[in-house]
Amino acid sequence: MSESTMSAQPVEHEVDSQHKEDSNYEGDSDYDEDSDYDEESEHEEDPKYTESPPSTWQLPMSPGLYKSINESGDVVKFRILAYRVTIQDMLRMADTLQVDPERSYAYRRDKAWELIRLELGKHHCCRWARIAIDDLFTSCIVVASNCTPVDLYHANDRKRIWFVQQYLGLSKLPVWYSPWLVNITKK
């Protein structure tokens, strides 16, 4: 699995102090990328989103469809709609996903990240990225972008994005980020 690396700035929100504490610690990991987890055996069908978000839950306004400087009309910068995922979020998810608590911190973090990416990437049209905000790199789950009409459609899929937020156990809404440097690889 490949991971994107971006340098980004938030479009609508300031970086809160909780995320400034997000560490870049890589550590000595005993994580085994060639584990026996079979991604094909999990959830073969497309998800059905039955739970609606509360009426007070509002997604940030879409920036509009990406339009480069080479196209006619007003330029619309490329943006991603993403949830920032801190190390604390990863360790909480490791507990939720029942990753062996006796293993090292780095293994638990990496294994949780692998399981999250498998579930959300395969079944919920999510991607993942590393973005730099205030000179700190942080991991993100990208739920949409404005790159194509289909990607932009995903930005308005309230039930899907609500599911992703609940799955991750996050309370904050996703944020539109404007990447400075983009190196996105699709699976």
Q: Mean pLDDT in each 10-residue stretch from start to end of the chain (187 residues)?
A: 43 38 39 41 52 88 86 84 88 89 89 84 76 79 90 90 91 85 43
Q: Say whether pTM exceeds 0.75.
A: no
With residue 167 as reference, give the H or E element that holds it: helix 158-168
Structure tokens at 39: 């991604």
Residue in 162, 170, 172 with CA at minimum distance from that of residue 47: 162
The pLDDT value recorded for residue 128 is 80
Q: d(Cα 106, Cα 126) in Å, to the nearest integer? A: 23
The pLDDT value recorded for residue 141 is 86
The pLDDT value recorded for residue 45 is 46
Number of H helices, E strands in the chain: 5, 5
32 backbone dihedrals φ, ψ, rounded to 5°: -110, 110
The pLDDT value recorded for residue 105 is 85
CA separation (Å) from 38 to 1, 35, 165?
A: 14, 9, 24
The pLDDT value recorded for residue 180 is 59
The pLDDT value recorded for residue 52 is 84
The pLDDT value recorded for residue 20 is 37
The pLDDT value recorded for residue 47 is 59
Q: Domain extents for the chain?
A: 80-177
The pLDDT value recorded for residue 174 is 94
With residue 82 as reference, give the H or E element that holds it: strand 80-85
The pLDDT value recorded for residue 126 is 80
